[in-house]
Structure 1
């Protein structure tokens, strides 16, 4: 256990420093504008600020996740073809599927990367808050005196941010706040996943293996967060709920402005663009493009009248006279 403890400490120490630098920085900023150093509001807002910084740093990874997720949706017809062709040979099917992923630049595990990268940060914040509350000891740049303030800080003057739903010490207010945050955390997780499936997945991708994976996550993740959430401190619940709200808003923006082709979100965007074009006086851009045939003059064409020649001119030309086909009526001799 000593070796594993040393390894854990070696891994967590850089995270303690990174988290504590941002946390203490926000706390000092809130003190500067008049909040109490030992008050729960300052520390709660510092946790929210820490969450926003972390999520902003993960934006490039989120963009990669969206791209990979979209590719997974678009290649589902090809995946189904491979399943029909190599369904009898699982090894060959796996090889061809991975080859398809490589050719299209698709990573089937990219959708899990933001959560996986946040887990060590989540654990580090949990340990930071736990040590501060139980031992009054700080980590990173969080000093012992600040750690004691952090561990004893109370929201609304009655809800310690280090308490949990299961360890509320008989305080009903703690359980109420914790329950609200757990419900919010669970609801935002479900809404985010549901939003992705209902608006940004083409119809032919709703029955493939990727869709089954999404459906499983739709119900499994909220249950995991609900069960685990009752054991999280209030401060950690603030972090995770804020992170979920960021994810939901970020995904809503991407789906609204850059939806995957062939999805309900893409149709909704096309309708909005058409309405906007019509509103700004561009009906041609708003309406469906129609082929306009050029106007055809349907009046009967007049027969070309031959040029009349004198007797001398006819003699010079060899005596040729216009035939009946080219001679107008009334000029035949």
Structure 2
């Protein structure tokens, strides 16, 4: 039914087993290590494919910080109506092109791989068949020889397809001790649970207030912080050792990926802010520099007032003067004498120049 998942998962597992089998060999330890590493690099292959969607999702979440004031207004307006608040929050996020559930996309895409790997690992021990019968049947992409290699591989005595709660332990794979399975599974369960919690805590710590304000996101954060790690401990006894390797390597990759991506985005944002500050400083006047003065536009010729001689203006207005010797009055310095003997000052003329002008006029 889900062969479109089982065949790709088994095919990637087969490719990595060939790579590590060539490097480590087919010995007792090398065979088990090559299969364990095949599961780990199956995870890494998937996470490399999902790397760009993860970066896009992180950037989308960071955009929510831009409309945080609007979110606070909604929280204040609908403080007593949680349903209306959730509806308005979804509407606001839709207007800004942000989907708070986009963070679930990597998990949703990894779920089919997890299901497919679980089925492929269990298919090494087909129900109702003995060990001799299982090693003669191909497991999807894995040929019978690789099925036999997997069943013979033991990690500290525990097969990768075994799990603590397996009631048929030792039936399909001979000479298996449950204590060996417990000693290998429990440390992996504890480390996987801690890695799950640390990954969720790092992700929640980097979320903006705008993201955590969404009720759906808050519920999802609580699930990933506490329920998922406890689930690994509670249900780890029902998970095959190969799946525990899958869970541990997946969370280890996620933790490292978050650290690198978040720090790169922080660095890019810091550089962008620094560039804006430098541009603003370049446009601002330097200390001690006078601000630029506006240069006046020279007047057009038609707008200029024609120059006039103040002496001519006064001479035209003054009545014709009689001889100064007849009335015995003389023009004061810098002025002229009118008919009544009063002096008229000529503005803008020095005394000597005024006398010469009056003398010429009498002649």
Query: Is the shorter-chain TM-score for this pair beyond 0.5, marking a shared fold?
Result: yes
Equivalence map 1:101-250=2 (5 Å): 101-134=93-126, 135=129, 136=134, 137-156=137-156, 158-167=157-166, 170-198=177-205, 200-202=206-208, 209=215, 210-211=217-218, 213-250=220-257
- Structure 2 contact 74–85 (Cα < 8 Å) conserved: yes
TM-superposed CA distance for 1:181, in Å, is 1.2
Distance 1:154 1:75, change over 3 A: farther
Matched, 1:31 2:21: yes
TM-superposed CA distance for 1:82, in Å, is 2.0
Tell me how far apart the structure 1 counterparts of residues 18 and 81 of structure 2 sit (CA, whole Å).
Answer: 62
Tell me how far apart the structure 2 counterparts of residues 27 and 41 of structure 1 sit (CA, whole Å).
Answer: 9
- Structure 1 contact 182–226 (Cα < 8 Å) conserved: yes
Query: Which of 222-231 and 73-82 deviates more?
Result: 73-82
Q: Show the counterpart of 2:43.
A: 51
Question: Equivalent of 1:318, from 349, 354, 360?
Answer: 349
Tell me how far apart the structure 1 counterparts of residues 223 and 286 of structure 2 sit (CA, whole Å).
Answer: 50
Tell me how far apart the structure 2 counterparts of residues 78 and 105 of structure 1 sit (CA, whole Å).
Answer: 15
- Structure 2 contact 100–211 (Cα < 8 Å) conserved: no
Tell me how far apart the structure 2 counterparts of residues 213 and 318 of structure 1 sit (CA, whole Å).
Answer: 96
TM-superposed CA distance for 1:224, in Å, is 1.8
TM-superposed CA distance for 1:106, in Å, is 1.3
- Structure 2 contact 64–208 (Cα < 8 Å) conserved: no
SS at match of 2:109: helix
Tell me how far apart the structure 2 counterparts of residues 171 and 235 of structure 1 sit (CA, whole Å).
Answer: 16
Question: Equivalent of 1:21, from 2, 11, 14?
Answer: 11
Question: Equivalent of 2:34, from 42, 59, 65?
Answer: 42
- What RMSD, in angstroms, separates the aligned Cα atoms of the two structures? 3.7
TM-superposed CA distance for 1:218, in Å, is 1.2
- Structure 1 contact 48–239 (Cα < 8 Å) conserved: yes
For residues 292-333 of structure 1, give each alpha carbon's deviation from its aligned partner in whole angstroms, at most 9, with x where no partner exists.
Answer: 63179xxxxxxxxxxxxxxxxxx9961189xxxxxxxxxxxx
SS at match of 1:258: helix
Gaps of 5+ in 2: 170-175, 291-345, 353-363
Q: Please give the TM-score of this superposition, normalised by the length of structure 2.
A: 0.64
SS at match of 1:132: coil
For residues 250-295 of structure 1, give each alpha carbon's deviation from its aligned partner in whole angstroms, at most 9, with x where no partner exists.
Answer: 001112121399xxxx8xx78xx99xxxxxxxxx98xx99996317
Tell me how far apart the structure 1 counterparts of residues 153 and 21 of structure 2 sit (CA, whole Å).
Answer: 14
Distance 1:92 1:143, change over 3 A: same
Q: Please give the TM-score of this superposition, normalised by the length of structure 1.
A: 0.69
TM-superposed CA distance for 1:176, in Å, is 2.1
Tell me how far apart the structure 2 counterparts of residues 205 and 31 of structure 1 sit (CA, whole Å).
Answer: 45
Tell me how far apart the structure 1 counterparts of residues 107 and 64 of structure 2 sit (CA, whole Å).
Answer: 18
Distance 1:87 1:207, change over 3 A: closer
Tell me how far apart the structure 2 counterparts of residues 204 and 68 of structure 1 sit (CA, whole Å).
Answer: 12
Q: Show the counterpart of 1:300.
A: none
- Structure 1 contact 17–139 (Cα < 8 Å) conserved: no
- Structure 1 contact 68–111 (Cα < 8 Å) conserved: no
For residues 30-73 of structure 1, give each alpha carbon's deviation from its aligned partner in whole angstroms, at most 9, with x where no partner exists.
Answer: 23335108721121111112111111111122123313333445
Distance 1:224 1:230, change over 3 A: same
Matched, 1:60 2:67: no
- Structure 2 contact 122–161 (Cα < 8 Å) conserved: yes
Q: Which is greater in Rg?
A: 2
Distance 1:96 1:120, change over 3 A: same
